[in-house]
């Protein structure tokens, strides 16, 4: 099935204007059309710009309320609502839709042989979209239009048709009156009543949430506010470091145990709360294997972290071979009391690679423990690394597909970063690194996302080791560029996470 913007069903147009519907349809969208029933009277003395913005907002809010009351399933799907209102302004007078023939003729006589402005106010709102990026999408766009001459006789005939009565200023540039437009400046679509060039970038931004089931957006929609993970060091080690299974750890892992950002909880909250005063926090036990200790020790550590009233949940980074039945039972209980998920370091489904990177457990064990966790109702995020030595893109994609089919709560795709103090720093042949640049990497990610079911949350799409320890690839520092390019390619090709599974 070809995926287009029209596949996305969550766009509501708060207008039944055929012109607006036409513009959206031509751009490839199929909006749900839901006109707003509001009082469109504009208080005397209101400036045209302010009036159209206020009316657009009023229409958007009225439709949101209608959806809330009448369509709860659509409401919970966080639709994007677009509303617009257009007026014609002549010498600071606002001309809306004419009420009758007399007003129609009066308006068009005023505009004859004169310049006027067409002003459209737009409101774009995402239900439950409390993200800053979706706030204040309430703007207006102005275009100038100059009319030539027309006769009173023509006006008399024209005002007997239905055409003028649903149009601000009693005309449409694409209708009968188009012939009298001598000149116009600004956006043609704005004169039609829908400044699409200004609207679409915001829609695309909002739709990005549908293209990728990003964990931040997922949590924001679920919790109603931003949730921040605070990386902390629980003071554990790993079985392939301390000799119980092996020595030296996984060959890609730095001596901090993949936890370069871990630091103190309260210090982090103090800093972050300046930027996000309402955010919620989850503690993220990131370094090493955070279930690799006797149960009593685990309980004491986890419960101590959760006793901090600022912490509303726990993310535990671990390995499947360090999750005994006893630990899983305890986690299942903990899961009832707090927000919890595990991050399982799988890295690859290929045992030959797993052996080469000194992972020290077989993939079969991952499946067995994963199923046990699933039975216990514990959410899992599976961590994969892209670019491990000896792996082709086909092998990486196979790992992604095999994990995706399990439909875990989440997936983390981590670009291999070769970092100082890791074993790979000494022996990885850089010339064999499978992604030569950002373009090649983002092409791969965009393809991979098409095999991940839309309900699986995406927690990471690249790697971002600190500059001071990163050896290769140095372009991975450009995290924003990488993410922007993924978004750009998905928009350009109308790709949605999981679309190849349908």
What 3-state class would DSSP assign to 178? Answer: helix
Binding mask 271-300 for ligand SF4 (x = CB under 6 A): -----------------xx-----------
Task: Judge contact between 100 and 31, C-beta under 8 A.
Answer: no
Residue 203 or 344 having the CB closest to ligand SF4 = 344
Residue 314 or 416 having the CB closest to ligand SF4 = 416
Among 193, 195, 234, 249, binds ligand SF4 (CB under 6 A): 249
Among 31, 164, 257, 434, binds ligand SF4 (CB under 6 A): 257
> Which 8-state DSSP code applies to residue 214?
B
Among 226, 319, 350, 412, binds ligand SF4 (CB under 6 A): 319
Radius of gyration of the chain (CA): 29
Shortest separation between residue 252's beta carbon and ligand SF4, angstroms: 7
Task: Judge contact between 241 and 247, C-beta under 8 A.
Answer: yes
Size of the site for ligand SF4 (CB under 6 A): 12
What 3-state class would DSSP assign to 117? Answer: strand
Name the one range near ligand SF4 by CB under 6 A: 47-55, 237-245, 260-268, 453-461: 237-245
Residue 238 touches ligand SF4, criterion: CB under 6 A: yes
Instruction: Give per-residue burial for 20-57: e unless 16+ CB within 10 Å, then b.
Output: bbebbeeeebbbbebebeeeeebeeeeebbebbbbbbb
Shortest separation between residue 237's beta carbon and ligand SF4, angstroms: 8
Residue 67 or 403 having the CB closest to ligand SF4 = 403
Task: Judge contact between 229 and 284, C-beta under 8 A.
Answer: yes
Among 15, 86, 89, 240, binds ligand SF4 (CB under 6 A): 240
Residue 218 or 284 having the CB closest to ligand SF4 = 284
Residue 344 touches ligand SF4, criterion: CB under 6 A: no
Outline where 112-212 has alpha helix (H).
Answer: 152-158, 188-192, 196-211
Shortest separation between residue 250's beta carbon and ligand SF4, angstroms: 3
Task: Tell me whether residue 85 is one of the annotated catalytic residues.
Answer: yes
Name the one range near ligand SF4 by CB under 6 A: 5-13, 131-139, 247-255, 431-439: 247-255
Name the one range near ligand SF4 by CB under 6 A: 168-176, 182-190, 249-257, 462-470: 249-257
CA 61 to chain centre: 22
Name the one range near ligand SF4 by CB under 6 A: 75-83, 105-113, 155-163, 251-259: 251-259
- Cα angle value 42/44/48 (rounded, 5°): 60
Among 164, 193, 313, 345, binds ligand SF4 (CB under 6 A): 345
What 3-state class would DSSP assign to 57? Answer: helix
Calculate the alpha carbon distances from 16 to 70, 85, 164, 196, 491 in Å: 18, 12, 16, 16, 26
Q: Which two tokens stand for residue 165?
A: 């009565």
From 67, 78, 102, select the one nearest 8 (Cα to Cα).
78
> Which 8-state DSSP code applies to residue 31?
P
473 cis-preceded (ω within 30 degrees of 0): yes
Residue 253 touches ligand SF4, criterion: CB under 6 A: yes
Shortest separation between residue 314's beta carbon and ligand SF4, angstroms: 18
Shortest separation between residue 366's beta carbon and ligand SF4, angstroms: 12
Shortest separation between residue 245's beta carbon and ligand SF4, angstroms: 10
Residue with tokens 């792996």: 391
Residue 125 touches ligand SF4, criterion: CB under 6 A: no
Shortest separation between residue 425's beta carbon and ligand SF4, angstroms: 14
Residue 226 touches ligand SF4, criterion: CB under 6 A: no
User: Going by C-beta distance under 8 Å and a sequence separation of 6 or more, which residues neighbour residue 489?
Assistant: 442, 443, 446, 495
**Rounded distance, CA 275 to CA 272, Å?**
6
CA 295 to chain centre: 38
Residue 87 or 250 having the CB closest to ligand SF4 = 250
- Write down the catalytic residue from 61, 85, 152, 443: 85
Task: Provide the strand spans (E) within 107-243.
Answer: 115-126, 138-147, 181-185, 227-232
Helix (H) or strand (E) holding 414: strand 410-415
Residue 52 or 411 having the CB closest to ligand SF4 = 411
> Where in the sequence numbering do the catalytic residues fall?
85
Residues found near ligand SF4 in the complex (CB under 6 A): 238, 240-241, 249-250, 253, 257-258, 288-289, 319, 345
């Amino acid at each position: 099935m070809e995926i287009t913007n029209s596949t996305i069903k969550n766009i509501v147009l708060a207008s039944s204007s055929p012109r607006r519907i036409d513009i959206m349809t031509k751009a490839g969208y199929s909006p749900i059309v839901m006109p707003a029933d509001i009082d469109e009277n504009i208080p005397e003395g209101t400036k045209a710009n302010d009036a159209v913005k206020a009316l657009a907002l009023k229409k958007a809010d009225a439709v949101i309320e209608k959806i809330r009351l009448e369509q709860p399933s659509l409401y919970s799907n966080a639709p994007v609502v677009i509303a617009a209102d257009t007026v014609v302004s002549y010498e600071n007078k606002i001309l809306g839709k004419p009420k009758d023939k007399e007003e129609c003729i009066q308006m068009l006589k005023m505009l004859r042989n004169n310049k006027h402005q067409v002003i459209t106010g737009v409101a774009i709102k995402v239900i439950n979209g409390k993200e800053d990026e979706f706030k204040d999408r309430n703007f207006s766009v102005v275009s100038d239009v100059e009319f030539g001459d027309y006769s009173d006789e023509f006006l008399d005939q024209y005002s007997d048709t239905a055409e003028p009565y649903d149009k601000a200023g009693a005309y449409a540039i694409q209708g009968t009156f188009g012939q009298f437009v001598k000149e116009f400046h600004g956006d043609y679509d704005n004169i039609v009543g829908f400044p699409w060039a200004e609207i679409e970038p915001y829609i695309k931004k909002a739709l990005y949430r549908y293209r990728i089931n990003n964990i931040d957006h997922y949590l924001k929609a679920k919790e109603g506010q931003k949730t921040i993970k605070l990386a902390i060091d629980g003071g554990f080690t790993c079985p392939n470091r301390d000799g119980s299974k092996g020595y030296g750890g996984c060959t890609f892992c730095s001596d901090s145990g993949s936890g370069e950002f871990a630091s103190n909880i309260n210090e982090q909250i103090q800093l972050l709360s300046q930027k996000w005063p309402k955010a919620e926090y989850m503690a993220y036990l990131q370094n090493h294997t955070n279930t690799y200790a006797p149960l009593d020790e685990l309980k004491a550590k986890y419960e101590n972290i959760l006793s901090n009233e600022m912490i509303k949940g726990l993310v535990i980074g671990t390995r499947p071979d360090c999750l005994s039945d006893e630990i899983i039972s305890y986690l299942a209980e903990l899961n009832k009391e707090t927000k919890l998920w595990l991050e399982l370091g799988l890295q690859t489904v290929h045992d030959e690679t797993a052996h080469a990177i000194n992972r020290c457990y077989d993939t079969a064990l991952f499946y067995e423990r994963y199923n046990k966790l699933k039975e216990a109702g514990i959410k899992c995020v599976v961590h994969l690394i892209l670019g491990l030595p000896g792996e082709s893109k086909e092998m990486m994609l196979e790992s992604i597909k095999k994990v995706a089919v399990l439909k875990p709560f989440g997936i983390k795709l981590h670009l291999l970063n070769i970092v100082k103090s890791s074993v790979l720093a000494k022996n990885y042949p850089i010339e064999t690194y499978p992604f030569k640049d950002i373009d090649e990497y983002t092409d791969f990610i965009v393809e991979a996302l098409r095999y991940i079911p839309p309900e699986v949350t995406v927690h990471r799409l690249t790697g971002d080791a600190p500059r001071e320890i990163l050896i290769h690839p140095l372009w991975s520092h450009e995290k924003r560029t990488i993410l922007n390019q993924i978004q750009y390619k998905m928009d350009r090709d109308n790709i949605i996470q999981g679309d190849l599974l349908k």
